Amino acid sequence: MPENEEPAIENSIMCLGCTRVVPEDVDFCPHCGAPLSGTSTTDPYKTVFARGQMYWRLTHGPITPIVMVGCVLIFLATVLVMAYAFWFELTKSSDGLSERYLTLFAPTVYLALWAAFAVKVVRNYRQQKKSAQPE
């Protein structure tokens, strides 16, 4: 079968991610990587790929305004919880100050990763919106 030819319709399904026709027996779309079957999100090994595809799609693929706002709101909720944790931890008595800074290291790294993700989602949305505008 030539590269550009789609598989036969009888033994095929349509990918909801890219709307291409793909073989029925695959778990992930060979074109966009979207999960296609129930086992692709329940099998522990395949779940890693399904989640990775979800994050990739948020930062590289087309997204709607509501998805972008939802990601930013989740990030802001995380910031508020972390700010409270920092305030609570730093207002304790001054005994063991260096231990408290070590306690805050992991949440700081977590917050930095969330911030990078939120920035990439917003940047992806803005680039998508900019490319959709006629010149």
Is residue 38 located within the same domain as residue 99?
A: no
- At 1 the three-state DSSP class reads coil
The torsion of the CA quartet 63, 68, 69, 75, rounded to 10 degrees, works out to 150
Tokens of 3: 């590269």
Task: Write out pLDDT tens, residues 82-133.
Answer: 888 778 777 776 666 666 677 777 778 888 888 888 889 889 888 988 887 7
More confident residue, 106 or 3: 106
Q: What pLDDT score was predicted for residue 71? A: 84
Per-residue CA distances from 125 to 61, 68, 102, 128 (Å): 9, 7, 36, 5
pLDDT at 9 over 70: no
Is residue 92 located within the same domain as residue 69?
A: yes
Q: Enter the pTM of the model.
A: 0.62
Question: Which residue segment(s) compose the domain that 114 sits in?
Answer: 62-132
2 falls within a domain: no
Is residue 79 located within the same domain as residue 37?
A: no
Give the count of domains, the chain: 2
